[in-house]
Chain A
Amino acid sequence: MFRHNLAYELKEVLRVREFVLWLMLFPIILGTLFKVAFGSIYSSELFDSIPVAVVKTSENAVADELLKALTEGEEPMLAATFTDAENAKQLLLDGDAEGILTIGESMELTVARTGMIPTMLQEIVSRCKLYETVIRDAIATDPASVETVVAKLSAEVNACREVSPAADNPDVYVQYFYNLIAMVAICGNMTGLHVSTNNQANQSQLGARKNCSATPKGIYLTAGLLGSCIAQSVSMVLCVTFLRFVLRVNFGGSLLLLYLAAILSGCLGVAFGFFIGSIGKMRHEGKSAIAITVSMALCFLSGLMMGNIKGILATKAPWVNRFNPVAIISDSFYCLNMYSDYRRFITKIIGILIYITVFTVLGVLFTRRKKYASI
């Protein structure tokens, strides 16, 4: 009996055209767009030599020495173009230079915008001023020590001992793909919603037939939920496979655990839809609109549209990240990438399992023992 119901449930899921569209085409289209849009943004944000235009109006030994130190080596701080004032201005306005270093009696800086790179250039130019101040102090205190002081000022020190966490892939833009998978998972609510609708006599003709059949409600409800979870798991596996192997998105961490998290997330989506579908007497279309809108709101709060929202919420309202099911799903992928131990990943998986249980139990509680005197 159960196997019969399960087989028909699977057939029915595949007949829902939008299921195929939503859950299979959607990540393919959006994943491709995401890859095209920010596949290479992260690498462009990493530190690289800063292009500057250098205009020399007179000799300045300190500035020359400083500039030499900053433009030489394997990874120099600056990529200098020596030119005249007019051309330097053009380079700056065209965006080919981040700033103009004018070397005269002192070193001056001209920039076209504010931001971290111009701030770094100001730090570099200020260093010239620092040299002058310290050398002046040295001459006033002990002129014989000037050489030692200059050597100390320009000595190469490695003052920072790195104890940074080891991320498999620190690319912050990969979180958009985490959120895309989370969105596909939560959109599994559409199949869960169908299970709920197809089991209520006042919601669908199929529900009416099922309710007056001899099959116990527990059997066809369990078969329905299991069938939806199987179908949703297939779409989650396809989604992760497409993103990982076709678009070559580096998710970091264990791929096997990523698949496991994705499959469980899909089941969460199904349970969420089942729960929404079980509440009240609203028609399927209305419940569907609520499920999609709530899902999109949760996706927004998880960072699908605004990548840094999770960071903002972590400081302003951390409970949102803790309770938002979509954020928990995307966090499980993030934890696999960022943490070599599985402590946090397991916490997130437990969170997903709790949500699956709570939504399913509530859904069952809302649908059980319903009597239909007139439909």
Chain B
Amino acid sequence: MQVFKAFLKVLRSKFGAAIIYIALFFLVGILMTKSGTDESVWEKSKMKLVIEDLDDTPESRALTEFISKDNTIIPAFANEDDLTDAMYYTTVDYAVTIPKGFSERLAAGETEGIFECRHIHESYAQVNIQMQLEKYINTVAAYQALGKSTQEASQAAVAALSKEANVELLQKENETKGENSELLTFFRYMPYILLSVIMNTLSPAMIAMNRKDFRYRTDCSGISPHSYTMQIFGASALYVGGIWAVFTLAGGIINGTMYTGRLWLAVLNALLFALFSAVLAIFVSEFSPSDNVVSILTQVATLGMCFLCGVFISQSLLGSGVLSAAKFLPAYWYIRVISMLNGELAFDAGEVALALGIEAGFIAVFVLLAVLVRRSRVTSAVARKAMA
């Protein structure tokens, strides 16, 4: 067990960086999982609005009450810059100012440009809130035409506008919207952290073990090559299994959910991805790059794969060309399984098995590639020695 122990010792020395990644991921996990929603029943989408009522009359208060009913009202910002930032980063969808003299203008029927409105993105939310504001103005005008005072018309408008149409939510066959969405959001971000942690720690450890002086000492010792490989493999498996188990347990604890039924598929999916990360790390280490080059490759592989395959941005937002290219990467199939489990895609056991099988295929391919590179490097080293 000498090699096994030595490898774990090297891994331990590389674990400091991994701890930062792990802590960071737990933070992200908590932040992200708390934003999940239940999509199994119809629920209106709330817009995030800033309403500033400078008029403060019964009419303006009636309007504020109407707008606030189905939307999230964000307190006004201390300055214009903070509001602009919030609108750019979409923590606020729209800002409405009800100016002084609103009720008088409403009574006089001067509704053109009656609100001051701010937005950055020409989004659906922006069109929706404008539609609501104009609907309110039209309804007040209609009641005024019936001889009501502006205050009465405002109250009548709010009452009339509160009657909403029923919506039927059609569910696709095999669709499981909203089940354990928080936990599955946690699993969605796992490829990034598994690749980052495993590549940043396992590769440098493998490179250290592949160092010439270490290899030569091991080769002339009594340890057989088979035993050496098995011990390295065992230590790697223990390390990768440990990382995977920590995240799997943490996912359950953070979300207060026990793994049951189809959730085990998410666990298996993560295990396969952890193994892929490990074989990729071993493959990279066969080229004996420096620690800094490993970091470059890790960043390119993790960020590139995660953006292309829909880890950070939903696959539904990515173009068909991007998704076609992403099919050649394992993270695409990982996310496909998660999408089938959280209801974004219809659940199909065959499709899930296919995706898991493809992930396993990627593992097998990279194991073969790693073996091939190792053999070719050993052969060329022996040839060089013979030539000399």
Contact = CB atoms under 8 A, between A and B. Distances in A.
Nearest to B32: A306
A145 B88 contact: no
B31 A126 contact: no
Nearest to B300: A29
A300 B24 contact: yes
Contact of A157 (B138, B144, B290, B293): B138
Contacts of A145: 145-146
A103 B36 CA distance: 34
A37 B307 CA distance: 7
A117 B128 CA distance: 9
A350 to B, nearest CB: 16
B142 interface: yes
B213 interface: no
B237 interface: no
Contacts of B39: 113-114
Contacts of A21: 293, 296
Interface stretch (A147-155, A202-210, A236-244, A259-267): A147-155
A374 interface: no
B167 interface: yes
B45 A172 contact: no
A14 interface: no
Nearest to A39: B319
A364 interface: no
Contacts of B117: 160-164
Interface centre among A137, A149, A159 (most CB of B within 10 A): A159
A167 B84 CA distance: 10
Interface string A137-179: 1100110010011001111011111111101001010000000
Contacts of A37: 307-308, 313, 318, 322
Interface in A109-125: 109-123, 125
B20 to A, nearest CB: 5
B240 to A, nearest CB: 19
B293 A119 contact: no
A137 B160 contact: yes
B381 interface: no
Interface in A285-300: 285-286, 288-290, 292-294, 296-297, 300
Contacts of A110: 167-170
Contact of A159 (B32, B133, B299): B133
Contacts of A339: 81, 84
Nearest to A16: B292
B164 A126 contact: yes
Contact of A161 (B47, B89, B113, B161): B113
Interface stretch (B119-127, B278-286, B361-369): B119-127
Contacts of B164: 122, 126, 129
B142 A161 contact: no
A119 B42 CA distance: 10
B89 to A, nearest CB: 3
B120 A164 contact: yes
A29 B127 contact: no
Interface in B100-117: 111-117
Contacts of A134: 139, 142-143, 160
Given A30-B300, A159-B115, A311 B89 contact: yes
B107 to A, nearest CB: 14
B169 A111 contact: yes
Contact of B17 (A30, A149, A289): A289
Contacts of B43: 114
Contacts of B26: none
Interface in B17-49: 17, 20-21, 24, 28, 31-32, 37, 39, 42-45, 47
Contact of B165 (A25, A41, A125): A125
A123 B20 contact: no
A152 B170 CA distance: 35
Contact of B88 (A18, A114, A117, A338): A338
A29 B169 contact: no
B179 interface: no
A256 interface: no
B95 to A, nearest CB: 9
A119 B308 CA distance: 30
Given A107-B165, A305-B192, A167 B300 contact: no
A40 B135 CA distance: 33
A22 interface: yes
Contacts of A106: 165
A318 B16 CA distance: 28
Contacts of A157: 111-112, 134, 137-138
B147 interface: yes
A203 B81 CA distance: 47
Contacts of B118: 162-165
Contacts of B317: 38, 41, 44-45
Contacts of A304: 303
B303 A30 contact: yes
B72 to A, nearest CB: 12
B297 to A, nearest CB: 9
A149 B304 CA distance: 58
Contacts of B115: 159-161
A160 B136 CA distance: 12
B120 A22 contact: no
A130 B90 contact: no
B289 to A, nearest CB: 9
A225 interface: no
Contacts of A93: 170, 172
B183 interface: no
B322 A111 contact: no
Nearest to B121: A170
A26 B192 CA distance: 18
A292 B321 CA distance: 33
Contact of B163 (A129, A155, A308): A129
14 contacts: A26-B300, A33-B308, A36-B325, A37-B322, A109-B168, A111-B169, A120-B128, A127-B135, A130-B135, A138-B142, A289-B291, A292-B295, A306-B28, A339-B84
Interface of B: 14, 16-17, 20-21, 24, 28, 31-32, 37, 39, 42-45, 47, 80-82, 84-91, 96-97, 111-128, 130-135, 137-139, 141-147, 156, 160-161, 163-172, 192, 196, 200, 290-293, 295-296, 299-300, 303-304, 306-308, 312-313, 317-319, 321-322, 325
Given A122-B165, A137-B143, A153-B139, 6 more contacts: A36-B325, A45-B123, A108-B168, A116-B128, A164-B120, A314-B89
